[in-house]
Amino acid sequence: MEHLMHMPRAQTGRSVYAPPSGSRLVPPTSAQAFAGDGAGSRTPFELGDSVHRTVSTSPAGRTRPLARMVSAALLAAALLAACDRGTENRSQGTAPRTGGRGTPAPGSVADTTDDGQWVMPAKDYASTRYSRLTQITPQNAAQLKLAFTFSTGVNRGHEAAPLVVNNTMYIVTPFPNLLYALDLTRPGAPMKWKYDPKPASAAQGVACCDVVNRGAAYADGKIVYNTLDGHTVAVDAVTGQEVWKARVADYNQGESITMAPLIVKDRVLVGNSGGEFGVRGWVTALELKTGRIAWRAYSTGPDAEVGIGPEFRAQYPQYRGKELGITTWPPDAWKIGGGTMWGWISYDPELDLIYHGTANPGPWNSEQRPGDNLWTAGIFARDPDDGHARWFYQWSPHDLWDYDGINEQILVNLPIGGQTRRVLLRAERNGYVYVLDRVTGQVLSADPYMDVTSTLGVDLTTGRPRENESKHPEMGKVVRDICPAAPGAKDWQPTSWSPRTGLFYIPHQNLCMDFEGVEASYIAGTPYVGANVKMYAGHGGHRGALTAWDPIHRRIAWEIKEFFPVWSGTVTTAGDVVFYGTMDGWFKAVDARNGRLLWQFRCGSGIIGQPITYRGPDGKQYVAILAGIGGWAGAIVAGDLDPRDSTAALGFVNAMKDLPQFTTKGGMLYVFSL
């Protein structure tokens, strides 16, 4: 499937909200992505019911017929979902969930905007990682206790979010990518089944930064996830039987997959990893029913393969022109140009657009690839039906720093400049929080959330960062104090958003780096050389932080400085609690309004996973996290790297020399409740 396929478009008005046919379980409700705080508390944004409201107050100033149909479909789906759940619960012999705090009356919008489940890593299509559950609050969080644990039996970095669907929890491990199903209806949540995709062992050799996996997604009775050796698998959520297994990437060519898929309508969206191996980045859509590839869109090369066509609107002049995916590179360099897609995808059902970033260009020295190297280190808005691009924005033109642009984007509607704007919040690797208009790709603001030296700000007129030539790396030249370091101010670890506080919770690192001297190395029998990269704590001396960012006032609301990079995700609740974990193993609950530490628990290994929260069959709110140190930041422990080798893990080890004194390996699920 080398070319972008042109698939028939879905009919206008087709209900994107209705459960896929044959669904036995509760489908992911797109509604929850955009609806606001069902609890009805005062928020600065009043996003509750926003699907309707923002349409009517959109810049166009009038409600579109499609939007009305969509709203109707949404309500219908909400009701359907509620019915489904009741049926399913009865069929399983468990009590239907009714009544109780946090469980509004059946059929209300609030009821379906949070069903207490967690069906995709980002919680919803808008990627808010915001739960409307309210049982755990700043007042009672100190009483959180361990409810149950489960050992995954795998010792590498655990970056995945558990899923909770129909009283079953699903966990994907790092390589060998086992899938466990745990029965939440029974004491201690015993294992129901285990699925082993048996990925090829050789794929471990093409994983750049530990053999991680970022999780699964649920839809249509299937748990769908990717394996390191380049397969997407769909597993029956009830029986644990494999439904299909599709080979989408070739590890023999250096491709691997670590990202969590996103399921939109009847498609599974997947992207590749492996920029270090001279692969060409892509995102691809598979049929949810069969695993057949529907389309594939590349990040470099001819317009037809990138998905640039008549529907593409260039917000800035540098994206205007033909075949820029070829002409912004030296001849043929785009063929191995990187721009992989190992991060996060969001979806706006109203605009019917998916959003995804692209990783850094490679594998050449930067001076061997003059030009902007489109379409790497940027973000695409695409049509999920055929992959065609609508707009693009480049965070780091001609990237010099390994600033992969694959972080998550949160889709919210914010009052900006006197009107409600449909925006996309993004804490980017290059150190800036961007607020983009998600309809057009226009940058509304870009502000640093750590001390940035690699660039001098973002020019909102041109959309380009202002260059700081004194920090450009050059072979043989010593360049110090490049901030952020190669992993960026934030890497893959996802942010969360609370419509109640209007804050955006950013787990991140505070690292700078030096390029000094030349280091020789050896691969496949061939010597090579490069800058000796050393990373270290950035300005302030701490290596990480949880930063609560106010995107309206464009400033930090509060910040918790952490000893190590915060390489875990975050989750935020309507109880005004934020959960995150630290690399030395503390799982923490803090007050979403002021960052006050409410509770913490020391897990057996460092935390780089994504917390989730769900409602158990007993009506209680639970919080779950996978511990298990590793990933790029934790490779020193998971990969037994030598702390004396300061340039190991591409220079990250220098910044993490002391981590082995604070934590040891071991994958384990921890689940807490009051």
Partner 1 sequence: MRSLLRSALTHFRTSALSRAGAPKLALALVVALGAAACARADARPARELRVCADPNNLPFSNARGEGFENRIAELVARDLGARVRYTWWAQRRGFFRSTLRAGTCDVVIGMPTTLEMAAPTRPYYCSTYVFLTRRDRGLDVRSFDDPRLKSLRIGVQIVGDDGFNTPPVHALSRRGVVGNLKGYTVYGDYARPNPPAAIVDAVASGEVDLAIVWGPLAGYFAKRAKAPLSIVPVSPQIDPPFLPFVYDISMGTRRGDTLGTRLDEVIVRRRAEIERILDDYGVPRAEGRRR
Catalytic residue numbers read 276, 360, 402
Instruction: State the nearest-atom distance from the C-beta of 450 to partner 1, in Å.
Output: 20
Q: Smallest gap, in angstroms, from Cβ of residue 61 to partner 1?
A: 47
Among 33, 55, 235, 333, binds partner 1 (CB under 8 A): 333
With H, G, I as helix, E, B as strand and everything else as coil, classify residue 602: strand
Q: Does 491 bind partner 1 (CB under 8 A)?
A: no
Q: Read off φ and ψ for residue 610, nearest 5 degrees.
A: -115, 115
Nearer to partner 1, 367 or 658 (CB): 367
In whole angstroms, the minimum distance from the beta carbon of 443 to partner 1 comes to 25
# residues near partner 1 by CB under 8 A? 60
Q: How far is the CB of 360 from partner 1 (least distance, A)?
A: 7
Contact flag: residue 470 with partner 1 (CB under 8 A): no
**Smaller CB separation from partner 1, 519 or 618:** 519
Closest CB to partner 1 among residues 191, 529: 529
**Segment contacting partner 1 (CB under 8 A): 65-73, 162-170, 591-599, 636-644?**
636-644
CA atoms within 13 A on the CB side of 511: 31
Rounded Cα distance, 382 and 389, in Å: 4
Distance CA 601, CA 642 (A): 29
List, in sequence order, every residue forming a beta bridge with 473; answer none if it has no partner.
none
196 binds partner 1 (CB under 8 A): no
**Residue with Cβ nearer partner 1 (162 or 631):** 631
Distance CA 605, CA 627 (A): 6
Are the C-beta atoms of residues 585 and 634 closer than 8 Å to each other?
A: no
- Three-state SS sequence of 371-420: CCCCCCCEEEEECCCCCCEEEEEECCCCCCCCCCECCCCEEEEEEECCEE
Q: Tell me, letter by letter, the H, E, C secondary structure of 419-440.
A: EEEEEEEEECCCCEEEEEECCC
Phi–psi pair at 469, nearest 5 degrees: -65, -25
Query: Closer to partner 1 at the Cβ: 469 or 523?
Result: 523
Please report whether residue 636 would count as binding partner 1 according to CB under 8 A.
no
Contact residue for partner 1 among 368, 419, 462, 594 (CB under 8 A): 368
Binding segment toward partner 1, per CB under 8 A, in 251-259, 288-296, 315-323, 349-357: 251-259
In the bound state with partner 1, the residue whose beta carbon lies nearer, of 162 and 275, is 275
Token digits of residue 668: 């384990």
Contact 581, 608 (CB under 8 A): yes
Which is closer to partner 1, CB of 73 or CB of 533? 533
Q: Are the CB atoms for 37 and 499 separated by under 8 Å?
A: yes
The phi, psi pair for 548, rounded to 5°, reads: -95, 115
Q: Examine residue 511 and tell whether it contacts partner 1 (CB under 8 A).
A: no
Q: Please report the DSSP string for 541-600 in residue order.
A: S-SEEEEEEETTTTEEEEEEEESS---S-EEEETTSEEEEE-TTSEEEEEETTT--EEEE
- Least distance between partner 1 and beta carbon 272 (Å): 14
Is 332 near partner 1 (CB under 8 A)?
A: yes
The residue range among 274-282, 428-436, 587-595, 619-627 that interacts with partner 1, by the rule CB under 8 A, is 274-282
- Find out whether 655 and 646 touch, Cβ atoms under 8 Å: no
- Figure out which of the listed residues 196, 311, 618, 645 binds partner 1, where binding follows CB under 8 A: 645
> Applying CB under 8 A, does 341 fall inside the site for partner 1?
no
Q: Is 486 in the site for partner 1 (CB under 8 A)?
A: yes
Element (H, E) at 365: none
Rule CB under 8 A: is residue 619 a binding residue for partner 1? Answer: no
Residue 482 in the binding site for partner 1 (CB under 8 A): no
Q: Using the rule CB under 8 A, which residue among 151, 252, 327, 462 binds partner 1?
A: 252
> Shortest gap between Cβ of 299 and partner 1 (angstroms)?
15
Whose CA is closest to 41, among 579, 559, 592? Answer: 592
Question: Does residue 641 belong to the site contacting partner 1 (CB under 8 A)?
Answer: yes
Contact of 227 with 257, CB cutoff 8 Å: yes
Question: Could you give the count of Cα atoms lying within 13 Å of 2 in the half-sphere of its Cβ?
Answer: 3
Nearest distance from residue 278's CB to partner 1, in Å?
4
What torsion do the CA atoms of 199, 202, 204, 205 make, to the nearest 10 degrees?
-160
Residue of 396, 356, 391 lying closest to 376 (CA atoms): 396
Window 521 to 560, contacts with partner 1 (CB under 8 A): 521-531, 533
Residue 479 is a binding residue for partner 1 (CB under 8 A): no
Q: Minimal distance in Å, beta carbon 291 to partner 1?
A: 21
| Residue list 199-228, contact with partner 1 (CB under 8 A) | 200-208
**CB-nearer residue toward partner 1: 96 or 330:** 330
CB of 296 to partner 1, least distance (A): 19
Closest to partner 1 by CB, 76 or 529 = 529
Calpha distance 217→28 (Å, rounded): 9
The contact set with partner 1 (CB under 8 A) reads 200-208, 250-254, 275-278, 330-333, 336, 338, 360, 362-365, 367-368, 370, 401-402, 473, 475-476, 486, 515, 517-518, 520-531, 533, 639-642, 645, 650
